[in-house]
Chains A and B, each alone.
Chain A
Amino acid sequence: MLGIIKRDLIILFSNKRERFFLIFYIPFLLFIVESYDSKFMYFVILVAYTYLLSITPFAYDISGRTRYIMSSLPISRKEVVFYKYLSTFFYFAITIVYAGIYLWIINALKIKSVDYFNVEMIIKAIPIVMIFTSIVFPAYFRFEPKIAQIVHMVVFITFFIGATNMSVVGEKSFVKYLGFLQGKNIVFLAIGMYIVSLLLSMKLYENRDL
């Protein structure tokens, strides 16, 4: 697991574009997504940031030619998949710390009033991240980069449309109408989807010609 995370972090921090994204994505989200509720902004940042942290270095590997190197190293394909799914939680933890510090500074400087730590939103964010990654990961493990990118874009845009809908309309939003962010059902749904997705990705990746 450490090898996989080490690789992901080295890739993220070595690329100028990714470094730029890491630094400016939070302020970008803050000023793009206007919300009636400061805690909702925190939720959007947690989900978007964790999701992108999980997908970006992974996309380099599964889509690019580097997959030959990584697949020639002493690690089984099942382990690659398993650690990838496990690392989402690690990135979620990183996001809580990083976004927390970043948003605290923004608050302290009185640039914008936004939550920098909110347990309720953390609990609501993790199932959403799990649902999104459980849809996108199998696509990266099985399909060619172009198809996987389309799945990724569809999921990410859906999230933004949903988030914008909620942030603007609030309690009357379509997302609320679906009950998407409420109750324990979402947690069970997320856990179920994540496990099924993990097993599916293992099966797909194990039988794939690289």
Chain B
Amino acid sequence: MDYVLEVNSLRKEFKNFTLDNISFKLEPGYIMGFIGPNGAGKSTTIKLIMNLIKKNGGEIKVFGKDHIKYEKEIKDRIGFVYDENYYYEDLTIKQMKDIVASFYSKWDEHQFNYYIHEFDLNPKAKIKTLSKGMKMKFSLAVALSHHADLIIMDEPTSGLDPVFRREILDILYNVIQDDSKSIFFSTHITTDLEKIADYITFINEGKVVFSKPKDEVLENYALVKGGTDLLDRETRKEFIGLRETKVGFEGLTDNLDNVKRIFGDKVLIEKATLEDIMVYSVRR
């Protein structure tokens, strides 16, 4: 099967950080949430996919093709949104669009104008005068206006207020109604993904913790609450991460059957959110 995005054993070494053995696959028509704490290696992975930095090992295939050998062809089919504004600040929206549009073979002016109108953006406004949310909307408008088959987004909702965040997510929700489009979405705000993601890849300290369907992830993990008297050297092993207070403990497990067998009804078991999974896995 041809995956939209296939990353195998990816490695990148820096002085103080190594991205090691990163592997995951994204099928056409799905959204993959790429989660992890700050500094986990999310942006580095995205930069490697976009060939902005060079890998030390491994393989990246986009639309089934090597991302360097077929770079131009691949990038023509990718829409990208980065965490910060990297556009020329002195230019207006229209000027920046004119520059970007000339590089894409399937640039759709009608589509761009639709989004500009929809997002309430003034084409004559200089990019430096836009708020962070408006800049993000402009990036999205560009990413969605050349019939891209894969949208890659690096922390698009980071630093946005809840209203803007919701708006951005609603836009993405509309985009995925088109089954042919796939989205690779990195974020540390995991609640953004609860609604829209099909797959979750969790990365921490440069390594993939898991890459699974979201429903499977949420089914596999559970939050366990109980008194600290239940914890000893053996029972602690059942938890991926633990938070202890004077009144009790809260822990994340991926082995619910064992927990039920050991603690019985002495503990309270709740569904874990993606945030719980990320926080407790990092705390390990």
Interface hit among A1-9, A24-32, A120-128 = A1-9
Question: By the criterion CB–CB under 8 Å, are B52 and A210 in contact?
Answer: yes
Q: How large is the interface on A (under 10, 10 to 19, 20 to 34, 35 or more residues)?
A: 20 to 34
B163 interface residue per 8 A CB criterion: no
Q: At the interface, yes or no: A181 with Cβ under 8 Å from chain B?
A: no
Interface class of chain A by DSSP:
helix
Q: Which residues on B sit within 8 Å (CB–CB) of A68?
A: 52, 82, 86
Residue B278 interfacial (CB < 8 Å): no
Which single member of B54, B75, B88 contacts A73 (CB below 8 Å)?
A: B75
Asked whether A11 lies within 8 Å of B91 as measured between CB atoms, the reply is: yes
- Shortest beta-carbon distance, B246 to chain A, in Å? 48
Q: State in angstroms the CA–CA spacing of A68 and B75 once bound together.
A: 13
Instruction: Tell me, in angstroms, the Cα distance from A182 to B103 when the chains sit together.
Output: 42
Complex CA distance for A2 and B101, rounded to whole angstroms: 12
Mark contacts of B60-87 with chain A using CB atoms, 8 A cut-off: 1 yes-contact digit, 0 otherwise.
0000000000011111101010101011
**CB <8 Å contact, B75 and A74:** yes
Contact in complex: A66, B53 (CB < 8 Å):
no
Interface residues in B164-203 (C-beta closer than 8 Å to A): none
B98–A207 touching, CB < 8 Å: no
Contacts of B72 in A (CB 8 A): 74-76, 79
- Does residue B129 face the partner (Cβ distance < 8 Å to A)? no
| Contact in complex: A71, B102 (CB < 8 Å) | no
Q: Which residues of B contact A210 (CB under 8 A)?
A: 47, 52-53
Which chain B residue lies CB-closest to A5?
A: B102
Residues of B contacting A73 with CB < 8 Å? 75, 100, 103-104
User: Do A75 and B91 have beta carbons less than 8 Å apart?
Assistant: no
Chain B residues 18-58 with CB under 8 Å of chain A are: 47, 50-54
The answer to whether A60 has its CB under 8 Å from any CB of chain B is yes
* Closest A residue to B51 using CB positions: A71
Query: Is B99's beta carbon under 8 Å from chain A?
Result: yes
List residues of B (238-273) whose CB comes within 8 Å of A's CBs.
none
**B211 close to A (CB within 8 Å):** no
Whole-angstrom distance between the alpha carbons of A67 and B47 in the complex? 12
Contacts of A76 in B (CB 8 A): 71-72
Whether A6 and B98, one on each chain, are in contact in the complex, defined by CB atoms closer than 8 angstroms, is: yes
A199→B52 CA distance, assembly (Å): 20
Q: Which of B84, B86, B99, B105 contacts A6 (CB 8 A)?
A: B99
**Alpha-carbon distance A68/B46, docked complex (angstroms):** 11
Which B residues touch A69, using CB under 8 A? 82, 86-87, 100
- Restricting to A53-75, which residues have a CB under 8 Å from any CB of B? 60, 65-69, 71-75
Instruction: Name the CB-closest residue of A to B74.
Output: A74
B98 CB contacts on chain A under 8 angstroms: 6, 10
CB contact between B75 and one of A3, A11, A67, A72 (< 8 Å): that residue: A72
B90 at the interface (CB under 8 A from A): yes
Query: Which residue of B is nearest A68, CB measured?
Result: B86
**Contact digits for A171-210, partner B, Cβ 8 Å, 1 yes 0 no:** 0000000000000000000000000000000000001111
- Please tell me if the beta carbons of A65 and B86 are within 8 angstroms of each other in the complex: yes
B92 partner residues in chain A, CB cutoff 8 A? 14
Question: Which residue of A60, A74, A79 has the most chain B CB atoms within 10 A of its CB atom?
Answer: A74
User: Which residues of B lie under 8 Å from residue A74 when comparing CB positions?
Assistant: 71-76, 103-105
Q: Nearest Cβ distance between residue B72 and chain A, in whole angstroms?
A: 5
- The closest CB in chain B to the CB of A209 belongs to B53
B69, chain A: closest CB distance, angstroms: 10
Residues of A within 8 A of B281 (CB): none
Contact between chains at A60 and B88 (CB < 8 Å): yes
Q: Are B100 and A66 in contact (CB under 8 A)?
A: no
Residue on B nearest A57 in the bound complex, by CB: B88
Question: What are 14 A-B pairs with beta-carbon distances under 8 A?
Answer: A3-B99, A3-B102, A3-B103, A6-B98, A14-B90, A14-B95, A65-B84, A68-B86, A72-B75, A74-B71, A74-B103, A75-B75, A208-B54, A209-B54
Q: A10-B91, A11-B91, A210-B52 known; 7 other A-B pairs, CB under 8 Å?
A: A69-B86, A74-B72, A74-B74, A74-B103, A75-B75, A76-B71, A76-B72
Nearest 8 A-B pairs (CB), nearest first?
A74-B76, A74-B75, A209-B53, A3-B102, A73-B103, A68-B86, A7-B99, A210-B52
